[in-house]
Amino acid sequence: MAAPLGRVRLALDAMGGDHGATEVVPGGIAWALENPTDELILVGDELVILQIAGGKLPANARIVHGPEVIGMDEHPAQALRERKGASILVATNLVREGEADAVVTAGHTGAGMAAAVLRLGRLPGVDRPALAVQFLLREKPLVLLDVGANPDATPENLYQYAHMGSIFSEHVLGVSNPRVALLSIGEEKGKGDQRIQKATELLDLADLNFTGNVEGRHLAADEADVVVCDAVLGNVSIKLVEGVTTTITDMFRQEFRRLPFGPIAAILMRPAIARIRAKLDYERIGGAILLGVKGSVVITHGRARKRMVNFACSTAARAVREGVSGRIASALAAAPSVAADGLPSGPAPA
């Protein structure tokens, strides 16, 4: 059942995340109120959701019962097999059955990804989906992928990620002709390990704005719009940025407190600190998007509160409206297809 043109039906896993329904439900409702022509489907324990919502929902919101929660210590695939009532599974099934266009969850990342892969399936041309996030350390948006979907990426996987990231950058983030680069050990094109070298050969044949390599420091600079890497490298990178950012801002905070006029300085510096906080505000990116599956799946932070859940819903809706999945499938169908031995098996573009 297709939705009316331009109307997005969003299945929100209301039970996931560290704060559970208490934060997720109000975040979803805020999004529904701001987007009255879209539809919100809250998936979770009906009584709990109604209680948190104060007994009534916006006109464009409804509840689908799915009361079970997958714990952070559970094995994703096994939990999905055993818990047919898990909110993330019920939400994903709504997309599978054509009742919804997108899933948003703050729950177990592995369970969210497994549900998407098992229930929605991969897009044609995609061997492995990738988890993509936006980096915040500069004005222009930068998207990094894969940050955790597929631990043993092949050069062919990186080649596909490059297409998926480029489409997300152009159509969701609004970057025209996005520069695509591989994250590696040196700036010179092709420098890196064998996987990166082979991916470079493949990407040289792709119909993308492929610019070669970027180094770690370039993630904070304006060198590329889409940065492609394997899951270990991507995941370590985003968590390292999180750690370094926290450590350095804590250093400033502590050192200023130690000044003799500390309390006065704290008041005087408040506007500057607020501007820095706004720049590093990761809540506004909404979360990570799983690219390469049949449907829009946004996995937000386990610690996400109302505001971030709202942003996650917006990102998922934008991906639906811009037809990201369809564009990925078309792009990979048109791209020179790549055989498992890493050599292009189709004709290269002129």
Helix/strand/coil for 224: coil
Output 81 or 275, the one with its CB closest to a copy of itself.
275
Q: Which of 47, 81, 97, 137 binds a copy of itself (CB under 8 A)?
A: 137
User: In DSSP terms, which residues pair with 132 in a beta bridge?
Assistant: 145, 289
Output 101 or 283, the one with its CB closest to a copy of itself.
283
Q: Is 138 a residue that touches a copy of itself (CB under 8 A)?
A: yes
The sign of the CA dihedral 39, 44, 47, 51 is negative
Q: Is 222 a residue that touches a copy of itself (CB under 8 A)?
A: no
Helix/strand/coil for 347: coil
Q: Show the site string, 167-206: x = touches a copy of itself by CB under 8 A, - = not.
A: ----------------xxxx-----xxx-x----------
Q: Are 303 and 317 in contact (CB under 8 A)?
A: no
Output 98 or 243, the one with its CB closest to a copy of itself.
243
User: In DSSP terms, which residues pair with 47 in a beta bridge?
Assistant: none
Q: Is 334 a residue that touches a copy of itself (CB under 8 A)?
A: no
- Sheet of 102-105, strands arranged across: 61-65, 39-44, 9-13, 102-105, 296-299, 288-291, 130-135, 142-145, 226-228, 179-183, 209-214
Tell me which DSSP letter residue 305 carries.
Answer: -
Q: Which of 249, 307, 321, 342 binds a copy of itself (CB under 8 A)?
A: 249
Q: Is 295 a residue that touches a copy of itself (CB under 8 A)?
A: no
Least distance CB 131 / a copy of itself (angstroms): 11
Contacts with a copy of itself by CB under 8 A: the residue count is 57
Q: Which of 124, 255, 339, 348 binds a copy of itself (CB under 8 A)?
A: 255
Q: Is 230 a residue that touches a copy of itself (CB under 8 A)?
A: yes
The sign of the CA dihedral 283, 285, 288, 290 is positive
Output 34 or 152, the one with its CB closest to a copy of itself.
152
Helix (H) or strand (E) holding 202: helix 194-204
Q: Which residues contact 21 (CB under 8 A, 6 or more apart)?
A: 14, 15, 44, 45, 48, 49, 52
In single-letter form, the type of residue at position 338 comes to V
Q: Is 349 a residue that touches a copy of itself (CB under 8 A)?
A: no
Q: Is 140 a residue that touches a copy of itself (CB under 8 A)?
A: no
Nearest Cα residue to 110 out of 64, 79, 153, 155: 79
What token pair was written down for 199? 């991916």
Q: Terminus-to-terminus CA distance in the chain, angstroms?
A: 40
Residues 145-164 interacting with a copy of itself (rule: CB under 8 A): 148, 151-152
Least distance CB 244 / a copy of itself (angstroms): 5
Q: By the criterion CB under 8 A, which residues form the site for a copy of itself?
A: 137-138, 148, 151-152, 183-186, 192-194, 196, 215-221, 229-233, 235-249, 251-252, 255-256, 258-259, 261, 265, 268-269, 271-273, 275-276, 279-280
